[in-house]
Structure 1
């Protein structure tokens, strides 16, 4: 039996250098990141030149149309910069071996190791009137010719392909989130108690969040309204005041209200944070995008320790907030519970690459219009 496997191909404008990657999503396992392994195919005309490769983390923190008077709201961090040709061939993966066998003697493998502290791919949703590249963190692999890795590359002999650094949800649930808050009132006896519990700590994108609310009114105030919301927290580490929160799902209800003094109420409300409900909201954090395909709300950022925040990073967090409204004189009482929102780790559906594996090369062609060619 002959197996086919997918690779992504992109050629430089002059067609002299072609890059092949086995995938474009690289998983951060907290302790380390999957290596970026690929193959470059060099034309005979370029066999006497040096070829270099880089992994670039590009952090855009301002709109391109606001870049005036020499201002630049983009920083590029070169995580890896190495000479790829001519060098001695290193250890190769099964995918690289099959590609080299298929492409011939002008194909050379490369492997890049991303540091574990590098930030995750995140895009901040632009406004309807915004143009150009959206703010956020994205990665690309760049291959070019030159005398050294700091040489200014020429567009005609440079090839770059966007990749993503992503995280998947842990396999185990954490402790069930629960909190109790109380409020007493000046010149009034008793207190108002609010208990909020989530059914679990870890949710997958699109999953319904069950919020259990228990209110015990031992005060002489009246609870008139309840509001529950899911808040997305965005921390742009580069700026000291770069933290903000946005409600990505909310529900307001007066069911069971008013809650009179001496009464109690227990109810469960459900919220589902989805991008489809926040399509027109500027600044919402999304998972990094490839091409212009639809994505989803950004996943929670998992850190080995709070000190590992990279200056180029955007840290994402989520919390459920429940507020009780007591009227103009009574004020409010609120409780918050953090939780984790991520994609589950995909099942191992990829077949092992056997010695007789093949890459379908019918679509292998140089194309300077469509930047990314997928090959199945």
Structure 2
């Protein structure tokens, strides 16, 4: 069964510029990032002597009013095949490459009573006509489209390396050893994280509970789970438990870092989209 391709089209109010793009999500594969490309169609009559431009910008917003914008502009000829032939002689390809070390699209979830725009890293493609790139842009001569830079780390068959910790007690001659293992290093949205816990209790202490949680590196742990697991003195105890962090269960938690959000779409991004 054939699949129908989606083309995103934006046209300025004055009809001077139209741009076409085949997708809005661009994948960071850790070692490389997909380029942003599309086709720009101009109407020489509507341009009326002006020039047409396309820019890709990355916006870092920290707080309500503080906003730093870094423009990324690079034009490299690249054919878009059928679309270029269909649009004719006034169609031009555009092509951008993300600079190294740019973050992916991300936003910090606001609290229930927060107002204004959220803290975020956002990407935007913009096409416009003007006398020059630095000239004042008329609203009816410009269009823009939000993009996402998303990360996809391919899975491997190798299990994750175990993590071990030891704890000495002042009143015990021998320590307690805790080992945690995962089935793999990479997990996707909506996928349960199976955590295997092994406790070797060589001490004379009775361990009553083991708490397991998923933490974001910046802060704000997702809700933890108490295993109800006990480790009597001088015994080895093992337990496996799944953890499933979901945004649906944390809609009102301020400060959680989420994937970048496009208008009217959920933040959850699935890697199958790039396959």
Given the two structures, how large is their TM-score scaled by the length of structure 2?
0.89
Question: Deviating runs (4+, > 6 A) in structure 1?
Answer: none
1:284/1:183 Cα in 2 relative to 1: closer, same or farther (>3 Å)?
A: same
The reply to whether residue 192 of structure 1 matches residue 166 of structure 2 is no
SS at match of 1:276: helix
SS at match of 1:283: coil
Alignment partner of 1:251 out of 217, 222, 225 = 225
- Deviation digits for residues 180-205 of structure 1 (CA, Å, limit 9, x no counterpart): 21111224322111111112222222
- Asked if 1 retains the 8 angstrom alpha-carbon contact of 2:175 and 2:202, the reply is yes
Shift of 1:104: 3.5
SS at match of 1:99: helix
Provide the C-alpha distance between the structure 1 equivalents of 2:253 and 2:153, rounded to a whole number of angstroms: 26
1:218/1:163 Cα in 2 relative to 1: closer, same or farther (>3 Å)?
A: same
- Deviation digits for residues 313-359 of structure 1 (CA, Å, limit 9, x no counterpart): xxxxxxxxxxxxxxxxxxxxxxxxxxxxxx545464xxxxxxxxxxx
1:213/1:5 Cα in 2 relative to 1: closer, same or farther (>3 Å)?
A: closer
- Deviation digits for residues 6-58 of structure 1 (CA, Å, limit 9, x no counterpart): 21011223333222111111122334322222122223221521112211001
Alignment partner of 1:202 out of 183, 186, 209 = 186
SS at match of 1:189: coil
Provide the C-alpha distance between the structure 1 equivalents of 2:141 and 2:252, rounded to a whole number of angstroms: 39
Structure number having the greater strand percentage: 1
User: How many residues of Structure 1 are paired with residues of Structure 2 in the alignment?
Assistant: 273
1:146/1:284 Cα in 2 relative to 1: closer, same or farther (>3 Å)?
A: same
Shift of 1:109: 2.1
The reply to whether residue 288 of structure 1 matches residue 260 of structure 2 is yes
Given the two structures, how large is their TM-score scaled by the length of structure 1?
0.66
The reply to whether residue 93 of structure 1 matches residue 80 of structure 2 is yes
Q: Does 1 or 2 have the higher relative contact order (CA < 8 Å, sep 6+)? A: 1
- Mark the runs of 5 or more structure 2 residues left unpaired by the alignment: none
Shift of 1:3: 8.4
- Asked if 1 retains the 8 angstrom alpha-carbon contact of 2:74 and 2:95, the reply is no
SS at match of 1:181: strand
- Deviation digits for residues 118-166 of structure 1 (CA, Å, limit 9, x no counterpart): 2211111122222332211110011122233222322221111111111
Alignment partner of 2:95 out of 98, 104, 111 = 111
